[in-house]
């Protein structure tokens, strides 16, 4: 049995610890086993942890249950992804409450360059179905991964349309890998394992209880570049996911509908509040996400010969390292003041050396 995995599972079982505190501990100690081996005083001294959580961690000794979980994952060929693993969905690390440990079955790359979440009501209209199917079909050439919650309605339509168009699709579950909810989607889930996957943070014997769905929804929102809301009322799971995506600084899109249609009322509310961009089709989405093929032009060639300032060269070098770099990363890695970074970015944009992408990111032209 893998000892480190045992400690990783155990960390998720500490009462009242939660994802945020587990992240603090992992960032400080490096791995799960080091957390359990640390002294109580060192644990309690960490900001955001305190005496009570330190005592809970040091007194916890139910390793037999953690061992059972490890055995279950091995028997069912379930991949475990700890928050510090390189294969862990890196986009989730930019959220304040990333899951400590994920359980995954499938073959899709959770760190693919293009991931979209498509969500919506369980009680969809024919319009919602058509829009979802057309949107997914139009994205066939974009090599995008479609994420949703495997629920009835828009979720299932998005998954099925992805499979029909040979796009990988991932279902995020609100329960453990030892069951499937809703049971009617077992055959769909089996297909998704061949071309996509199933992902959850819940251990076996975790039922699809009501309080699990908001936790599930934060993964749907956090692991994607953008979330698209097809149809939803002003209340419900889709609006929770949309709010999470917005708060995570992810791009949020909503499909408009009739103002008299209750199933479009949530989408219209998100648009009217300027939280979501009104989306009319895949072409608009591809353009706004910066996914279109950029033709080589004289501007790019001229940019090679532009005389750059020291600050501008620092920004260009950072963007050379990573395509699509967040503004916060440029602030941190450049070592420059925020005003110097802002000025350099503005000059580089004017000279057609860089361009902005959705989500406050920048890339070289």
Write the pLDDT tens digit of every residue in 37-92.
999 999 999 999 999 999 999 988 889 999 999 999 999 999 999 999 999 999 99
Side by side, the strands of the sheet bearing 101-106 are 79-82, 101-106, 196-200, 169-172, 145-148, 115-119, 226-229, 251-254, 277-278
Does 37 share its domain with 149? no
pLDDT the model gives residue 119: 97
Residue 186 belongs to a domain? yes
Does 138 share its domain with 229? yes
Residue 328 belongs to a domain? yes
Examine the pLDDT at 298 and tell me if it is beyond 80. no
Residue 212 belongs to a domain? yes
- Residue 229 DSSP label: E
Distance separating alpha carbons of residues 174 and 79, to the nearest angstrom: 17
- pLDDT average, residue stretch 278-307: 70
Does 220 share its domain with 305? no
Does 321 share its domain with 226? no
- pLDDT average, residue stretch 253-259: 94
pLDDT the model gives residue 131: 96
Residue 184 belongs to a domain? yes
Count of beta carbons in the 10 Å neighbourhood of residue 289 = 20
Decide which of 26, 56, 76 is a domain's last residue.
Answer: 76
H helices of 248-337, in order, are: 265-272, 282-288, 298-303, 310-321, 327-334
φ, ψ dihedrals at 189, nearest 5°: -60, -40
Does 139 share its domain with 226? yes
Distance separating alpha carbons of residues 209 and 226, to the nearest angstrom: 27
Does 321 share its domain with 261? no
Does 22 share its domain with 121? no
Residue from 118, 4, 23 nearest 66 by CA? 4
Does 284 share its domain with 303? no
Examine the pLDDT at 133 and tell me if it is beyond 50. yes
Structure tokens belonging to residue 111 = 């760190």
Number of structural domains (the chain) is 3
Q: Among 125-129, 274-278, 299-303, which stretch is predicted with the lowest mean pLDDT?
A: 299-303
User: Judging by DSSP bridges, how do beta strands 196-200 and 79-82 pair with one another?
Assistant: unpaired
Helix (H) or strand (E) run with residue 247 in it = helix 237-247
Does 274 share its domain with 307? no
Decide which of 57, 76, 95 is a domain's last residue.
Answer: 76
Examine the pLDDT at 276 and tell me if it is beyond 90. yes
- pLDDT average, residue stretch 328-347: 83
Residue 169 three-state SS: strand
Mean model confidence pLDDT for the chain: 90
- Residue 330 and residue 348 in contact, taking contact as beta carbons nearer than 8 Å: no
Structure tokens belonging to residue 83 = 């928050």
pLDDT the model gives residue 336: 83
CATH of the domain at 309: 1.10.10.10
Residue 312 belongs to a domain? yes
> What are the C-alpha distances in Å from 320 to residues 1, 345, 364, 365?
42, 14, 7, 11
pLDDT the model gives residue 200: 98
The residue range of the domain holding 328 is 298-364
Residue from 315, 319, 174, 328 nearest 248 by CA? 328
> What are the C-alpha distances in Å from 73 to residues 9, 98, 103, 195, 266?
11, 21, 8, 20, 39
Does 113 share its domain with 238? yes
Examine the pLDDT at 118 and tell me if it is beyond 90. yes
- pLDDT average, residue stretch 287-313: 66
pLDDT the model gives residue 305: 53
φ, ψ dihedrals at 319, nearest 5°: -70, -25
Does 167 share its domain with 202? yes
- pLDDT average, residue stretch 131-154: 95
- pLDDT average, residue stretch 354-359: 78
pLDDT the model gives residue 302: 42
Residue 229 belongs to a domain? yes
Structure tokens belonging to residue 276 = 């979501």
**Contacts of 133 by beta carbon, 8 Å cutoff, 6+ apart:** 157, 161
pLDDT the model gives residue 300: 44
- The torsion region of residue 179 among left (phi > 0), alpha (psi -120 to 50) and beta comes to beta
- Residue 157 and residue 129 in contact, taking contact as beta carbons nearer than 8 Å: yes
The per-residue pLDDT for range 11-38, each reduced to its tens digit, is: 999 988 999 999 999 999 999 999 999 9
- Residue 162 and residue 196 in contact, taking contact as beta carbons nearer than 8 Å: yes
- What percentage of the chain reaches a pLDDT higher than 70? 95
The per-residue pLDDT for range 180-228, each reduced to its tens digit, is: 999 999 999 999 999 999 999 999 999 999 999 999 999 999 999 999 9
CATH of the domain at 230: 3.40.50.450
Residue 245 belongs to a domain? yes
Residue 97 belongs to a domain? no
Examine the pLDDT at 357 and tell me if it is beyond 70. yes
Residue carrying the six token digits 């599930």: 216
**CA-CA-CA-CA torsion for 335, 339, 340, 343, nearest 10 degrees?**
140
Decide which of 31, 55, 76 is a domain's last residue.
Answer: 76
Does 141 share its domain with 273? yes
């Amino acid at each position: 049995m893998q000892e480190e995995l045992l400690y990783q599972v155990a960390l998720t079982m500490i009462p009242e610890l939660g994802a945020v505190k587990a992240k603090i501990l992992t960032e400080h100690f490096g791995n799960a086993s080091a957390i359990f081996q640390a002294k109580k005083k060192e644990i309690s001294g960490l900001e955001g942890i305190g005496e009570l959580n330190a005592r809970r961690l040091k007194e916890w000794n139910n390793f037999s249950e953690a061992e059972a979980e490890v055995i279950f994952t091995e028997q069912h060929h379930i991949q475990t992804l700890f928050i510090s693993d390189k294969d862990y969905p890196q986009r989730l690390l930019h959220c304040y409450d990333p899951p400590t440990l994920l359980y995954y079955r499938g073959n899709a790359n959770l760190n693919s360059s293009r991931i979209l979440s498509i969500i919506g009501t369980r009680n969809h209209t024919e319009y919602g179905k058509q829009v979802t199917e057309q949107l997914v079909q139009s994205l066939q050439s974009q090599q995008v991964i479609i994420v949703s919650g495997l629920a009835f309605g828009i979720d299932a339509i998005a998954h099925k349309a992805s499979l029909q168009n040979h796009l990988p699709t991932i279902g995020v579950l609100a329960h453990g890998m030892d069951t499937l909810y809703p049971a009617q989607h077992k055959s769909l889930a089996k297909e998704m394992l061949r071309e996509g996957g199933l992902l959850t943070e819940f251990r076996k014997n975790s039922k699809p209880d009501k309080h699990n769905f908001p936790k599930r929804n934060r993964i749907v929102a956090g692991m994607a570049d953008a979330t698209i809301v097809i149809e939803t009322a002003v209340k419900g799971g889709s609006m929770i996911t949309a709010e999470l995506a917005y708060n995570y600084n992810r791009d949020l899109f909503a499909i408009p509908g009739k103002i008299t249609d209750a199933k479009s009322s949530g989408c219209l509310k998100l648009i009217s509040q300027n939280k979501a961009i009104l989306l009319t089709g895949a072409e608009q989405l591809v353009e706004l996400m910066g996914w279109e093929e950029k033709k080589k032009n004289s501007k790019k060639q001229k940019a090679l010969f532009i005389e750059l300032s020291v600050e501008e060269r620092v920004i260009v070098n950072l963007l050379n390292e990573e395509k699509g770099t967040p503004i916060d990363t440029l602030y941190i890695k450049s070592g420059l003041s925020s005003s110097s970074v802002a000025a350099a970015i503005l000059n580089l944009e004017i000279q057609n050396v860089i361009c902005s992408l959705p989500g406050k990111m920048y890339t070289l032209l």
